[in-house]
Amino acid sequence: MPVLFLIFLVIPIIEIALFIQVGEWIGLWPTLASILATALIGSAIVRRQGMQTLARARQSMELNQMPVREAATGLALLVAGFLLITPGFFTDTLGFLLLIPAVRGTLGAWLAGLFLAGARVQVFRAGPAPGTGPRRGGDGVIDGEFEDLTDQPQPPGSDNASRHLPPGDGRP
């Protein structure tokens, strides 16, 4: 709750300060025109990237693959679109940053790291028994289990080794 309170307090203050500064530099009408222009340009870019992402998701599903990356990209584009139609220079900057694939990838990896920091993941490879089939390739099916360990107390002296997968190829 305190984080949301800060977001709803700090962002409007930043936006007001930026409106005042930019308005002093370029005037009222150019400031308002630039806000409208960023909303229109940003919306067009979000739409184009969203359609490309949807096409990649469909292609992944046709290949019987989960479109996880495409879903994350779609979520980032949704947030970018919301930020771009919200009037303000700060929110527009954040929205345009989310339109850059490298920024989305870095942010996605960081968020995944935060999410998985308190988790134990076990991965089991489905397919032929060990030693009876090829080590790589196969049918590409992976079965896994996930357990959230965020709220569980760690034993004293724990080096968090349980958060890492064991060495090897992941076979039980």
Indicate the SS3 state at residue 127.
coil
Could you state, in order of their start, the residue ranges of all structural domains in the chain?
Answer: 2-100, 117-130+138-151+162-172
Nearest residue to 22 (alpha-carbon basis) of 13, 31, 14: 31
Output the pLDDT for position 79.
Answer: 92
Whether 50 and 77 have beta carbons less than 8 Å apart is answered as yes
Question: Residue 144 forms beta bridges with which residues?
Answer: 123
Question: Which whole-number Å values give the CA distances from 57 to 71, 100, 157, 166, in the listed order?
Answer: 8, 18, 44, 32
Task: Give this prediction's pTM.
Answer: 0.63
Give the pLDDT of residue 78: 92
| pLDDT block averages, 10 residues each, the chain of length 172 | 83 93 94 93 92 91 86 90 91 93 87 73 57 54 68 60 48 46
